[in-house]
């Protein structure tokens, strides 16, 4: 089978031995396609992954061999995620599911950018779903990234009447903003790129250009009884976004960190203390968040049409390059038929 592996700082498509189910439980699935996640980009660009790693985890696939009690059968078209919490450890009991050791250790094998993938029985039972009839393959590939956003919104535990700001309106920012809106909140957004601002406005999110911060600031304060937003969602990977967050969050408000930043600068102790801020992170979804994600996609509350650009497996390096160069919103690697 053909897989895309990391070699010498490049993504190379190579042929490796087919994976077989053998006498294991679980399933072998033919990957129809796999979304390219921001975390794949970070792992590739920062040289975090070892030689020979197969990246990709946002898979849409068809079952070709199965030994399972899950009820899925050969021929089923499914969407799956990669990590599963144990639900028993101290992290899981403390609701930090994505910090669970088991969560971090579970994965799809060898990785999503592969013609075939092995899904364990645990994957089939917890994080795999049939593709809803009204969604295309590309649309349903947002199941996992949207699940991450659902998790963040739930973790922030805001009331449905809250005013919130999303900084960064790339794919994740647009998913986050739509999720917040679906939960009933008033959502503002900002970004530096005009086409992203236009996309957000078209989805009913009042979005501003971060270059005109005064305008955004004035508008948001006028619409929040002059106190600022209750929570800022940081989906931008820019260090400068931290200042924007501190200027727009209200006293006693929350900042939800959803992205790494290159210089890894932080929030000042005294900002957190004097403004009584809550700065919290959110990293990855639970199975329940993935279910909510699939519902939001299926009922049309989160719209992902026109976000993806499709690449063939042979052009996967270009997909990485175009994403890094901000030429596209989201790459979907089309692998099987």
Residues of this chain that interact with Zn ion (CB under 5 A) are 37, 85-86, 89, 92, 100, 144-145
* CA distances in angstroms from 23 to 26, 28, 68, 110, listed in the order given: 9, 12, 11, 18
| Among 57, 104, 103, CA closest to 80 | 57
Q: How far is the CB of 320 from Zn ion (least distance, A)?
A: 14
* Interior angle at CA 77, CA 71 and CA 80, nearest 5: 80
Closer residue to Zn ion (CB): 98 or 224: 98
Q: How far is the CB of 323 from Zn ion (least distance, A)?
A: 13
Q: How far is the CB of 113 from Zn ion (least distance, A)?
A: 12
DSSP line for 142-178: THHHHHHHHHHHHHTT--TT-EEEEE--SHHHHHHHH
Sheet holding 186-191, edge to edge: 206-209, 186-191, 163-167, 229-234, 249-257, 278-281
| Among 84, 38, 78, CA closest to 286 | 84
Ramachandran area for residue 26 (φ above 0: left; ψ -120 to 50: alpha; else beta): left
The angle, 0 to 180 degrees and rounded to 10, between the axes of the packed helices 171-182 and 194-202 is 20
Closer residue to Zn ion (CB): 64 or 125: 125
DSSP line for 40-57: HHHHHHTT-SPTT-----
Q: How far is the CB of 248 from Zn ion (least distance, A)?
A: 27
Q: How far is the CB of 121 from Zn ion (least distance, A)?
A: 18
Q: Tell me if 313 sits within 8 A of 334, measured CB to CB.
A: yes
Q: How far is the CB of 56 from Zn ion (least distance, A)?
A: 9
Closer residue to Zn ion (CB): 73 or 93: 93
Q: Tell me if 245 sits within 8 A of 234, measured CB to CB.
A: yes
Closer residue to Zn ion (CB): 277 or 316: 316
What are the φ/ψ torsions at residue 121 (nearest 5 degrees)? -55, -40
Q: How far is the CB of 93 from Zn ion (least distance, A)?
A: 8
Closer residue to Zn ion (CB): 139 or 230: 139
Closer residue to Zn ion (CB): 85 or 189: 85
Closer residue to Zn ion (CB): 89 or 203: 89
Q: For residue 114, give the DSSP letter.
A: B
């Amino acid at each position: 089978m053909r897989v895309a592996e990391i070699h010498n700082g490049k993504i190379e498509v190579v042929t490796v031995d087919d994976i077989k189910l053998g006498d294991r439980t679980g399933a072998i699935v033919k990957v129809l396609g796999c979304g390219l996640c921001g975390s794949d980009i970070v792992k590739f660009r920062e040289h975090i992954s070892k030689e020979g790693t197969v990246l990709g985890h946002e898979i849409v696939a068809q079952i070709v061999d199965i030994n399972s009690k899950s009820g899925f059968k050969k021929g089923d078209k499914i969407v799956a995620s990669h990590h599963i919490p144990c639900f028993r450890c101290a992290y899981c009991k403390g609701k930090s599911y994505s910090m669970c050791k088991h969560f971090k250790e579970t994965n799809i094998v060898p990785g999503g950018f592969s013609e075939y993938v092995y899904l364990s029985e645990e994957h089939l039972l917890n994080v795999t779903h049939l593709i809803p009839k009204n969604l295309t393959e590309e649309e349903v590939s947002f199941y996992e990234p949207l699940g991450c956003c659902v998790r963040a919104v739930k973790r922030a535990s805001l009331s449905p009447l809250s005013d919130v700001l999303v900084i960064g309106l790339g794919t994740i920012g647009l998913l986050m903003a739509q999720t917040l809106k679906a939960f009933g909140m008033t959502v503002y957004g900002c970004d530096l790129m005009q086409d992203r601002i236009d996309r957000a406005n078209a989805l009913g999110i009042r979005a501003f250009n971060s270059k005109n911060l005064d305008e955004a600031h004035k508008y948001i304060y006028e619409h929040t009884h002059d106190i600022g937003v209750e929570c800022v969602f940081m989906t931008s990977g820019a260090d400068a976004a931290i200042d924007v967050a501190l200027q727009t969050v209200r006293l006693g408000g929350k900042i939800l960190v959803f992205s790494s930043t290159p210089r890894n600068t932080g929030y000042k102790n005294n900002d957190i203390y004097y403004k009584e801020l809550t700065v919290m992170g959110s990293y990855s979804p639970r199975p329940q968040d993935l279910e909510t994600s699939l519902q939001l996609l299926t009922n049309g509350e989160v719209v992902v049409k026109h976000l993806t650009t499709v690449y063939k497996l042979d052009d996967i390096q270009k997909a990485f390059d175009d994403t890094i160069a901000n030429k596209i919103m989201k790459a979907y690697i089309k692998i099987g038929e």
